Structure 1
Amino acid sequence: MTDHLTIALAQINPTVGALDHNAGLIRAARAEAAAQGADLVVYPELSVCGYPPEDLVLKPFFLDKVEDTVKALAAETADGGPALLVGAPWRVDGKRHNAALLLDGGAIASIRLKYDLPNYGPFDEKRVFVPGPLPGPVNFRGVRLGVLVCEDMWTPDVTETLAETGAEILVVPNGSPFEIDKIDRRLELAVARVVETGLPLIYLNQVGGQDELVFDGASFALNADRSLVAQLPAFDSRLAITRWTRGADGWTGSSNEMVAPPDALGAIYGAMVLGLRDYVAKNRFPGVLLGMSGGIDSAISAAVAVDALGADKVHCVMMPSPYTSQDSLDDAAECSALLGCRIDTISIGPAMEAFAGMLAPSFAGKQPDITEENLQSRSRGVTLMALSNKFGSMVLSTGNKSEMSVGYATLYGDMCGGYSVLKDVYKTTVYKLTHWRNQSRPDGALGPEGRVIPERIITKAPTAELKPDQKDQDTLPDYAELDDILECLVERDLSLHDIVARGHDAQTVNRVWRMLDRAEYKRRQAPPGVKITSRSFGRDRRYPITSGLLSLVRGS
């Protein structure tokens, strides 16, 4: 039995499926922790394979490789250095589990299986894993550690069992993705578990981007009196040392790691930067290119890209038509200059003339309408994709959640691209983020200090500029009204009656709901993008394209 224990929190950024790379991160963190006298290094959920591995774990050869990697890591602990608590998919009696494995003394000393498998929002663990039994504590060098994996902390069942069976310190490896207010929510739940059990708690979260999910890290540790022992940074890898001492009333921890979490807008911006940075880097793109329209969406997308990748890896392209204003040309050029990135101008006028001539026989007798507007957008999409094919950079889509919700976007036009940082960001939040970025430069950002988005881009009326004097509000409600209605429909699942009761016009609410429903087929073809809200389009919200819901409501 020991009265002193040094536990290192390894907030690492693994890559799904990259076993050798992830093992390298685990080894590097162990070496750093050993130099600081650590007894144990705790890693995130499924740290060996990355989270979420999805259907990779259905492949037996992949699980074989995972086991080989874990056994190799376990053998290395025979050197007398720190033990490792790693996460990996693990087979027990032929069944696949999400497991936490204690590696110590050259062997796999203990295995704990995740009990509560999440199956909501972006999670579908019940599809690939089998739940484990309610666990007892792990005996680590005379200390009984209560190991619970991620979702196991969100309800009291597992912690109650661990406390009743003699756990002394709760340790929670996590793969908990970012969404608005998630950092505060995790802390609230951890405090609840500490109060219920009277035990200190270590919460270790993954950091990094994985497709649409961003893991913000922000790991922490709490004493039994709910005081904060450690707070790791959000959106950054970090190794933190916590030192624990046994007293008459149990274990008490201390640490020098205390980084305040970002404010709400800083957290959203940080998630967008990390999500894009990892998507580009982990998929080995040389950089990104985007259509720079002189509008606010492309401006903030370019700012995120420069902060994530550096100005030398961001290529902006202005693609004017006869309807593009001089203000838009000037604003796009000024914003690119402020960000320090390249901007080229490629007119789509010749493409418009070519399409007009090519389609003239088929369109004879028909008046110009939205078809011609969409041809402009699609000409831009073809141009960007041609540049992407030729030079290898990924096209960054710039559409926001407000537009995607109601279908105010063109398939194979402004919707084309490999990734979107605004996919889950409403237009009103876009405005807030531009003000925030002009006043703040987040830690680790590669872009310049100070103002990066010209004021006129923020203040002028938004427009697609696909016909003379066009404004977004010619087609859509005011964005403040639209976004509130959309949030009620998408995130909160409120009825039309309840939304009207909030003070909205009934006809407007009904129109927005119909646009939302009819645009489902477009959203299925949209690029992936950073999850920000509690319900993003994609994994979080799964509605049928073919549906009789509209007629059902009409008949009610």
Structure 2
Amino acid sequence: MTHPFFSLHRQRMIRVAAATPPASVGDVPANAAATIALAREADTRGVDLVVFPELNLTSYAIDDLHLQSAQQAATRAAIDSVRAASVDLKPLLLVGAAIARNGRLYNCALAIHRGRILGVVPKTFLPNYREYYEKRWFASGAGLTGLTIDLGGEPEREPVPFGTDLLFAASDLPFFTVHAEICEDYWAPTPPSTMGALAGALVCCNLSASNIVIGKARERTMLAAAQSARAACAYVYAAAGIGESTTDVAWDGQGLIHELGELIAESTRFSRTPELVVADIDAERLLQERARTGTFNDAAAVAGHPELRFRRIGFVHGEDLADRGLERSIRRFPFVPNDPAKRDADCYEAFNIQVEGLAKRLEAARADTLVIGVSGGLDSTHALIVAAKAMDRLGRPRSSILGFTMPGFATGEGSKANAWALMRALGIAADEIDIRPAARQMLADMDHPFGRGEPVYDVTFENVQAGLRTDYLFRLANQRGGIVLGTGDLSELALGWCTYGVGDQMSHYAVNAGVPKTLIQFLIRWCIRTDQYDAETNHILAAILAQEISPELVPADADTGAMQSTESMIGPYALNDFFAHYVLRHGLAPSKIAFLCWHAWRDLEAGRWPEDFPADARVAYDLPVIRHWLESFCRRFFQTSQFKRSALPNGPKVSAGGAVSPRGDWRAPSDGTARVWLEELTANLPQPS
């Protein structure tokens, strides 16, 4: 595909690689050949940046051989051979070498691009403890700024920038800005990459030797994750692998790529085969994170604005408009981790956030009872099981929960049966109020056609039923010393798929308002799997999960018997939650969201499914379908539904992926327009054929 929509660069993404070449004990020509071979492989794979290990050209564990002039001369020759080989290669290469300058030897990272050495960054922090002895051979680069170094070669070659104040920035791709530090630098309390990030680097790189001992791989991963999160950057880490001297230590060749604290890709450790671990970094996501995180900007000010002190070394990279695929796993359910252990941990936290939030509100309100409408659908089911657990935690009887099923003109027998079964299994006080007589009277009073016996099922017909249910709940709460528990979830609130002033939008406490529909589904599965309730309750919860999501406000089709289907009207919740996550959490443009969504959902094999996701529910979505529902989402979210969110009752924020409370993550005008988002989508997506 050739449309710019499919180009990584047009989507402000950078393909990076951590390289693990075969190492040697000082065989510099062999090291250079291994470096060039991996650089060529990276070029064929469309990589923009390759990070090699510390001293990969020189070799790391050669002790006093570092101070031999023959070794230093061989290193200079190796640098020149890599430079010459890079002329026809696309990637920016960060290679490691020991370089002498003014009678001092420095442990350096060299940035090489298309036959040009862009700059040389000396290591700042030299380890000299336990097995490390670097101060015996190397000088620190601390304080060395604004300098140059003559690397020899042809007479016309200019000295290149030298110092710890260098950023490497593509002049034609403003989001491709790189900082380099070396091994111990990121073990230090003040990693140089912190200043590099504050100066504008989006990709921070670490060329490392780092011998392996038990537990060190976890420590490296922790540090790389922490630095990428703290500095709001991508962090590419490459450690020396098999082949370095094992006189007293050993090597594992760990390669890591992190973004905002998340591990995007990692290498095979202890491999005897050269490896490139490749991943696509989302620079737009990084830029948006920095713009919305005031602490990042404050830190730059406290540090004296490092961008004023760093030199930006420019190079022309060349925009690539080809479809290179995507070297990155995009979660289909961004609110829900794929990893089972992480997912269980998230479900535990989400459930207990809701339980504790509700328990505190019950105490603060001094409410004798909790009133809830129970439909047999997902949202009221989840709100009810949260309420039951809150009562348990407060040491109060579950009979303090007053559950009401309120059948209307289209209530399904299955939903009603599930509602009753769940209320009985949980041991709450259960009752039923048939709203149909009151609804008929109201519709007749309004002179609605249905009140005259005509089968007119318009929005008024639907909302009379929804409104009556809420009227009853609020008056019941007044009568019985209680508060009304809201059931509407984040997905419905994002779409405006709720009736203003009704229970899925209005209540005394909106316990589900911070939980998207997809997470509610996984939360209920987690409750079943971890036996939060008894076997009878688990059986009922499983039955409710298996139902199609429906508002059940309009009678079934007379010919087919089909009930209302929510997702046929507003789109699949899986897609809507995907859209909501990237709008709320990252502020990405619609076309970028479509690009990520297409890569996540375009076929059944595009991404890993969570293990407990039902096989019969696994589907794929092509780009026209994604576009259709994304346009619908943009209209609903940005234009037609903000006034409902602006009047939300209190409710706990649950997911770091975002919330819609006007007192929390999302503040927006109620009279806004979706024009900007719709036009951006139209301008940047391929036109339907």
Return closer, same or farther for 1:488/1:551 CA change in 2, 3 Å cut-off: closer
2:520 to 430, 433, 439: 430
Give the whole-Å Cα distance in 1 for the aligned partners of 2:583 and 2:422: 34
Give the whole-Å Cα distance in 1 for the aligned partners of 2:230 and 2:466: 52
Deviation (angstroms), 1:425: 0.8
Return closer, same or farther for 1:552/1:476 CA change in 2, 3 Å cut-off: closer
Larger radius of gyration, structure 1 or 2? 2
Root-mean-square deviation over aligned CA pairs: 3.3
* Aligned position for 1:410: 499
State how 1:289-438 maps to structure 2 within 5 Å.
289-310=371-392, 311-360=398-447, 368-414=457-503, 415-438=505-528
The size of the alignment, in residue pairs, is 306
SS of equivalent to 1:396: strand
Return closer, same or farther for 1:448/1:549 CA change in 2, 3 Å cut-off: same
Contact 1:440–1:450 at 8 Å: present in 2 too?
Answer: no
1:493 to 587, 590, 594: 587
Give the whole-Å Cα distance in 1 for the aligned partners of 2:464 and 2:570: 21
1:295 is matched by which residue type in structure 2?
A: G
Deviation (angstroms), 1:416: 2.4
1:422 is matched by which residue type in structure 2?
A: N
Give the whole-Å Cα distance in 2 for the aligned partners of 1:156 and 1:281: 46
Aligned sequence identity (%): 23
* Aligned position for 2:348: 266
2:541 corresponds to 1:454: yes
* Aligned position for 2:550: 463
2:666 to 541, 544, 549: 541
2:424 is matched by which residue type in structure 1?
A: A
TM-score by length of 2: 0.41
Contact 2:589–2:677 at 8 Å: present in 1 too?
Answer: no
Cα shift readout 1:74-109 (whole Å, capped 9, x = no counterpart)? xxxxxxxxxxxxxxxxxxxxxxxxxxxxxxxxxxxx
Return closer, same or farther for 1:456/1:192 CA change in 2, 3 Å cut-off: closer
1:536 is matched by which residue type in structure 2?
A: A
Return closer, same or farther for 1:315/1:156 CA change in 2, 3 Å cut-off: farther
2:675 corresponds to 1:550: yes
Return closer, same or farther for 1:424/1:341 CA change in 2, 3 Å cut-off: same
Deviation (angstroms), 1:451: 3.7
* Aligned position for 1:531: 653
2:490 is matched by which residue type in structure 1?
A: K
Give the whole-Å Cα distance in 1 for the aligned partners of 2:464 and 2:230: 56
Contact 1:377–1:410 at 8 Å: present in 2 too?
Answer: yes
Contact 2:377–2:415 at 8 Å: present in 1 too?
Answer: yes
Contact 1:289–1:315 at 8 Å: present in 2 too?
Answer: yes
Deviation (angstroms), 1:413: 1.8
Deviation (angstroms), 1:367: 5.0
> What runs of 5+ residues in structure 2 fail to find an aligned partner?
1-188, 195-221, 232-341, 393-397, 556-562, 599-622, 684-689
Contact 2:344–2:526 at 8 Å: present in 1 too?
Answer: no
Contact 1:419–1:529 at 8 Å: present in 2 too?
Answer: yes
Cα shift readout 1:498-537 (whole Å, capped 9, x = no counterpart)? 0111215222211111111121001112221110123211
Contact 2:466–2:502 at 8 Å: present in 1 too?
Answer: yes
Contact 1:424–1:536 at 8 Å: present in 2 too?
Answer: yes
SS of equivalent to 1:475: helix
Give the whole-Å Cα distance in 1 for the aligned partners of 2:573 and 2:674: 26
2:521 corresponds to 1:521: no
2:406 corresponds to 1:283: no
SS of equivalent to 2:430: strand
1:359 is matched by which residue type in structure 2?
A: M
Give the whole-Å Cα distance in 2 for the aligned partners of 1:479 and 1:436: 19
1:406 is matched by which residue type in structure 2?
A: L
Contact 1:398–1:422 at 8 Å: present in 2 too?
Answer: yes
Return closer, same or farther for 1:552/1:399 CA change in 2, 3 Å cut-off: closer
Cα shift readout 1:301-358 (whole Å, capped 9, x = no counterpart)? 1000010114122111000012111111110011111211111100101111111111
Contact 1:294–1:457 at 8 Å: present in 2 too?
Answer: yes
* Aligned position for 1:476: 570
Deviation (angstroms), 1:421: 1.7
* Aligned position for 2:630: 509
Contact 1:295–1:462 at 8 Å: present in 2 too?
Answer: yes
SS of equivalent to 2:447: helix
